[in-house]
Amino acid sequence: MYAVRFHGRGGQGAKTASRILGTAAFLSGYLAQDSPIYGAERRGAPVAAFTRFGREPIRERGGITHPDLVVVADASLIGDPAARISDGITEQTILFINSPLYAEQIRTQSKLPGRITTLGVTEIALQHFGQREAISALLGAVAARLAGLQQEPLRQAIARELGDLGLAPPIIERNQTVALTCYESVQVMERESVAEPANIATTFHTPVYESPSRGTARISATGNSVLRETGGWRTFRPVLVADKCNGCWLCFVYCPDGVISMNKDDRPVVDYAHCKGCQICVHECPTHALVAEREQEGRVAWTAR
């Protein structure tokens, strides 16, 4: 059995990529299984999805704790403990990171075990689609290559899964073309035999009943959500061109998360630790004083506490 875990941010297409890989494996004659984590996933929040395929019936269910391949759709997830990318990764695990950086740079920065390979998929998507967050087919293609699947079932799988999402045929075709570019471009790693996990927990814990006054979660703090930084959600950051700003306050008013405040000179100050990068401020600025700048990896764009 080959087990692949996808990590992404809600909206990037990690779930669809996992479906594309599962369908491509199925069309290649394997038995396949894919499922996303169901939770309160949100556009920009860390999400995960799982694909298993093999020649034998797959009895294992649930999340993948010992992956053969891990596909990371957004390099900013490496520093986010909530994403749990390093779970169950050994020296043999293949790690694909969506990043224009070299594998060696990622290895040095992240200190992740496993064999790392990289490709700037977001850059490829921006170049071909001119749009952020449309990389499910491309991630699926990378995963298919690294998992040793052929091109034709991949093409069909993309058509099927994107078709189910209601995408128009020309868009699907473009996705197929660009996906195959990614398929060709990613540096392949030979699979090494994975040692069976020594011990899988089989004990069940029955929760003890507690009355609601004890048993329900209670938050005694006030306004502590600021401890949770959401700056890593961004693909682009809003940057102020100070001499164009006319101090109209509209960016402050329209920011849903309230991360823009006005200083005493009526100029906006963006709280980059929490800005999710929705670009409403950039879109609404009447004088184009706020511009979108691609987040740069390797530079300290955002750091988790």
Partner 1 sequence: MWQRETFKKIKQIPGEEHVLPGTALCAGCGGLESLRLAAKVLGDDVIYVNAAGCFTMLAAYPYTSFKGSWLYTTMGSAPAGAQGVRDALDVLIAKGRLPKSENLKVVVLGGDGSSYDMALSSTSGAMNRGLDFYYFCYDNEAYGNTGMQLSPATPYGARTATSPCSLQHPSGASQEKKDLFEIWRAHKPPYIATVAPRYPLDLEEKFARAAAFPGPKMFLALAACPTGWLYDPAETPEVAKLAVETGLWPLKEAINGVVTHTYIPKRKPVESYLTLQGRFRHLFEPTVQTDTIQHIQARVDAYWVRATREGT
Q: Which of residues 38-57 bind partner 1 (CB under 8 A)?
A: 40, 42-45
> Applying CB under 8 A, which part among 47-55, 64-72, 135-143, 269-277 lies near partner 1?
269-277
> Applying CB under 8 A, which part among 118-126, 136-144, 150-158, 251-259 lies near partner 1?
251-259
Least separation, in Å, of the C-beta of 273 and partner 1?
8
> Applying CB under 8 A, which part among 58-66, 71-79, 146-154, 242-250 lies near partner 1?
242-250
Residue choice 70, 137, 259, 270 for contact with partner 1 (CB under 8 A): 259
Spatial separation of the C-alpha atoms in residues 254 and 180, rounded to whole Å? 40
Residue 241 vs 253, nearer CB to partner 1: 253
> What is the DSSP track for 214-257?
HHS----SSSGGGGS--GGG-SEEEEE-GGG-----HHHHH-TT
Residue 103 vs 259, nearer CB to partner 1: 259
233 forms part of the interface with partner 1 (CB under 8 A): yes
Least separation, in Å, of the C-beta of 76 and partner 1?
14
The single residue listed with the structure tokens 């405040």 is: 261
Residue 69 vs 251, nearer CB to partner 1: 251
Q: Pattern of binders to partner 1 over 154-173, x per CB under 8 A?
A: ------------x-x-----
276 forms part of the interface with partner 1 (CB under 8 A): yes
Residue choice 217, 286, 299, 300 for contact with partner 1 (CB under 8 A): 217
Q: Which of residues 115-134 bind partner 1 (CB under 8 A)?
A: 131
Residues lying near partner 1 in the complex (CB under 8 A): 10-11, 40, 42-45, 131, 166, 168, 217, 219, 221-230, 233, 248-250, 252-259, 261-262, 271, 274, 276-280, 282-284
